[in-house]
Every structure is written in C-alpha cells, then in structure tokens.
Amino acid sequence: MRKRKVLVVDDENFIRELIYDFLEFENIECDKAESQEVALELISKNDYDLILLDRNLKDFKSENMIEKIKKDIPIVLLTGEDGACEDYFRELGISEIIFKPFQYDDFMNKINPYLRFK
C-alpha cells in the first residue's frame, strides 16, 4: 500500500511545521509550500491525497489557487477568519474547513476521512 501524502500550503512557518509534525506522527508523508508558486510546482510533480490550503497567503487568496488545482484532490481550507462562509467555499470545491487555532485531535478528525482507503 502506498503511503498517504499531503501537501500543506501556508505562509506561516509555524503552521507548516506544526502540521508536518502532526502528520509525521501518524506516518503520513507531508510536503510543505509557503507560496502559490511552490505549491503548484509540487502539485505538478507529485500525487497528493489531500491539500491543506491556507485561506490567505501573502501573495494571493485561496480562491485563485483552488481553480488551478486538479479537481480530484480534496482540499481542506485552513483559516483564522471566524466569519468564513462555509457555503461559499464548498461551492468553490473545498471539502472541509479547519479553523485556526486547532488542536491535534480535532485536526486529525477533520482530515482522516480524506485519507482513508488510500
């Protein structure tokens, strides 16, 4: 069985490293990207089971990148915005939303359904 693989796209190094540690603990492979350009390059070269995408990166909003991602990869949006409109993001193709700050158990419970049976 192939090891599950996730891409985390966030401009905050602390968040990228925290998620990396969470996933490593669960034996899930993780690549990290701090920008849209790095993320799209990694997506073009790798097969991911899940993409964790920050709502607001320094150089763009997530909506711009969602359109460029392959439609068959589930995307979980990471956001610190309390008022994020879940219906709007689901229409764009977001599978799930995780609000920052998050705890290990809640985080893993939200992403595990997208990583099962891979």
pTM: 0.92
C-alpha 110/C-alpha 59 separation (Å) is 27
Percent of the chain with pLDDT over 70: 95
Tell me: the pLDDT tens digits for 32-49?
Answer: 999 999 999 999 999 999
Per-residue pLDDT at 118: 47
C-alpha 47/C-alpha 6 separation (Å) is 9
Tell me: the pLDDT tens digits for 72-93?
Answer: 899 999 998 876 677 888 888 8
Maximum CA pair distance of the chain?
40
Residue ranges of domains in the chain, CATH in brackets: 5-112 (3.40.50.2300)
C-alpha 96/C-alpha 90 separation (Å) is 8
